[in-house]
Amino acid sequence: MTHRTEHRRRPDGPATADPLLLPKVLSRLDVGVYVTDEQERIVAVNPRAEELLVRPAASLVGRNAHDLLHRGAGGTPLPRAQCQLMKVFRRGRAGHGGSKWFVRGDGTLLPVVWLITPYQLADGSTGVAVLFHERAAEQSKALGSVESADHVAALSALADSLSLISATTTVLASNLEMAETLRRLVRLVLPYLADWAVVDLINEDGDLQRVAVMHYQDEQHVRVEELEGPLPSVSPHSVMPLSRVLMGAPVTRLSPDDYTDPLDSDMAVVQRRLFEATGMRSAIAAPLRGRGDEVLGVLTLGRSGQRPDFDSTEIMLVDDIALQAGLALDYEQQRRVAEAMQRYLLPQLPRVPGMALAARYHPAPHSSRVGGDWYDAFVLPDGTLALVLGDVMGHDLHSAARMAEVRSMLRAFAWDFESPPGVIVSRLDRALAAIGVPTMASLVLTRIDRLANGSWRLHWTNAGHPPPLLVSSDGGARFLGHDSDLLLGIDPSAGRHSASLVLEPSATVVLYTDGLVESPSRPIDAGLAALRRHAAELARGPLTDLCQGLIERVRPSDNDDVALLALRVAEDGGSASSGEGVGSR
């Protein structure tokens, strides 16, 4: 077989907790667990902790764990400097101990064996997870006793499970292609849960592909590429385990004995070859389900050699991991559809004598936030040029669809009515409300017409959008800041305004979305100031260089989409024209 060897890699530092998955996983553990933030405040507990501590979660969450719970022998309060658990907490490393008491809600003391491990919370800060188990008797105080050692070993295994779950969510939230993300997920679960891992995915056309086959041997991850590739279609009449999981069955056990003659499908033949090639003695197959419960693939984990079969706790853990992987897969598929729709709807720019046009659209590469930003440019029946730049609220497939509706309707209104931009946008707002399309969006609509003396006049209206920027040939830059009207979707009956001005030769107008000037780390005023400064510096260069330069210099981060549309009047008002493409990703 052809193997690709990959050295074993562990996640660096604590993994990120998924806020929805953490309570689910904690609720299944038969040991007490509480999770604290950096200030020692309890942020989550599981039912077993409530039971052992005789305290409801409401009386624990938000309280300082040390002050509330930690006690010395006889129930004496412990200064932090004398608390072994707090010493481990401050070191930021995993540790365990057995000479510890927690005070219960009824005032009695609970002797515990405990383990503490770093845990990164959903907001990115680092806290800890504390796992604890009641010491059976006072005579087992010594940590070196068999019973205490067994308890610590069990807690350590559970801590590893929690770390695996949270590391899994971190990997699945990465910005990699999904096939590579799933391969990284496989490297996390091997060898902790299995010796072999197989990932099968169903693509948008319904075809089945084996995208990853990984083996762990000699402390290395080995990818077996010759076992990857296209798979036969699944027969609806097959009763073989993998086929049943692909058709909607829950997590299922598999073994070589399931794939002995007679085989009922081509898929069953492939699975028999898989067991023969890998030497797996036992396996489990967990469905990767999307939000609508649709099966998008299967994660199969297998064991060879003398490892015991999967127990019920391990099966639940694999089921949780597969659940998260399925949701991530579903989200990624929707993101790709939304981005494809968005790019398809971005137009080729028209050629207008005496004017240059350029546009850029940059999706957010490190997230799935796609769908709302768009631009449009088209020539009306009377020869007037219309430019639109807008942002539909939201970043998902639904916002991409609403963006398409808004764009199409605005084109139709602008084409049919020779009216000021404010009147056109008012009609659009009322129409969206009348047909029941719940849309909140900002946009700028402009009309640029040619006057009898050969100069150009700009008309515009602003529906809650960042103001257009006007840059003169000498580098002067100012925002066209007549009063901004309401966003679309707030009050369709509200009046809207139009404004106009005559453009000087070589003047440039820049329309842009808020992703260019605003981020959580920078207020929009600072972004607008940076935009005006850099636009003035780039004013004498080619229009395409100005657009790209603004993206590179002004954009505060890549966490949001950016659409940018610019026009420049020819220096002498002549017939030269250009229309630039959509730009780089």
What is the residue-wise DSSP string for 151-180?
A: HHHHHHHHHHHHHHHHHHHHHHTSSS-HHH
**Count of CA atoms in the C-beta half-sphere (13 A) of 24:** 14
Give yes or no: residues 144 and 51 share one domain: yes
- pLDDT confidence band for 301 (50 / 70 / 90): very high
Q: Does some domain include residue 3?
A: no
Which residue has 């002050």 as its token pair? 67
CB of 413 within 8 A of CB of 448?
no
Q: Please tell me whether residue 41 adopts helix, strand or coil conformation.
A: strand
251 φ, ψ (degrees, to nearest 5):
-50, 135
The burial class, CB within 10 Å (0-12 / 13-18 / 19+), for 58 is exposed
Residue 333 sits in the same domain as residue 428: no
DSSP 572: S
Domain count, the chain: 3
Quick check: 341 pLDDT over 50? yes
Query: End-to-end CA distance of the chain, in Å?
Result: 39
- What's the Rg (C-alpha) of the chain? 31
User: Quick one: 29 and 47 in the same domain?
Assistant: yes
DSSP secondary structure, 235-276, as one string: PTT--SHHHHHHTT--SEEE-GGGGPSSP-SHHHHHHHHHHH
Q: What is residue 5's predicted lDDT score, i.e. its pLDDT?
A: 44
pLDDT tens per residue, range 419-456: 899 999 999 999 988 887 777 889 999 999 999 888 99
Distance CA 329, CA 317 (A): 18
Which is more confident, 512 or 558? 512
Per-residue pLDDT, 411: 92
What is the number of alpha carbons within 13 Å of residue 517 lying toward its C-beta? Answer: 23
Considering the domain architecture, whether residues 466 and 544 belong to the same structural domain is answered as: yes
The 8-class DSSP code of residue 227 comes to: G
pLDDT in tens, 185-208: 888 788 878 899 999 998 878 899
What is the helix (H) or strand (E) element at residue 277, kind and residue range?
Answer: helix 266-278
Largest distance between two CA atoms of the chain: 102
Residue 165 covered by a domain? no
Same domain flag for 566 and 488? yes
127, 160, 193 - which closes a domain: 160
Considering only CA atoms, which of 89, 91, 92 is closest in space to residue 100?
89
- In this prediction, residue 17 has a pLDDT band, given cuts at 50, 70 and 90, of very low
Q: What's the average model confidence in pLDDT over 387-402? A: 78
| Pairing of β 577-579 and β 355-362 | parallel
Residue 11 domain-assigned (yes or no) = no
Counting beta carbons within 10 angstroms of the beta carbon of residue 279, is it exposed (0 to 12), middle (13 to 18) or buried (19 or more)? middle
Mean pLDDT computed over every residue of the chain: 81
Residue 123, domain member (yes or no)? yes
**Better-predicted residue by pLDDT, 365 or 432:** 432
Q: What is the pLDDT of residues 74-85, one digit of tens each?
A: 888 888 888 877
Above 70 in pLDDT, residue 92? no
Verify that 376 and 240 share a domain, yes or no. no
Q: Does the pLDDT at position 102 exceed 50?
A: yes
The residue segments making up the domain with residue 398 are 346-579
Cα–Cα distance for residue pair 115/97, rounded to 1 Å = 7
Does residue 507 have a pLDDT over 70?
Answer: yes
* pLDDT tops 70 at residue 122: no
Which residues in 439-546 belong to E strands, given as ranges?
441-450, 456-463, 469-471, 477-479, 499-503, 508-512
Among residues 14, 70, 12, the alpha carbon closest in space to that of 40 is found at: 70
- Residue 545 has a pLDDT of 93
Its pTM stands at: 0.54
What's the CA gap between 129 and 162, in Å, rounded?
9
Is 6 contained in some domain?
Answer: no
What does residue 580 show for φ and ψ, rounded to 5 degrees? Answer: -90, 160
CB atoms within 10 A of CB 412: 13
CATH number at residue 522: 3.60.40.10
- Give the integer Cα–Cα distance in Å for 139 and 137: 5
Task: Clarify whether residues 197 and 294 are in a common domain.
Answer: yes
Q: Write down the pLDDT at residue 20.
A: 45
Give the CATH number for residue 330.
Answer: 3.30.450.40
Mean pLDDT of the 108-114 span: 87
Residue 118: predicted pLDDT: 76
Which of 135, 160, 185 represents a domain boundary (last residue)? Answer: 160
Say if residue 489 is in the same domain as residue 542: yes
Question: Do 446 and 553 have their domain in common?
Answer: yes
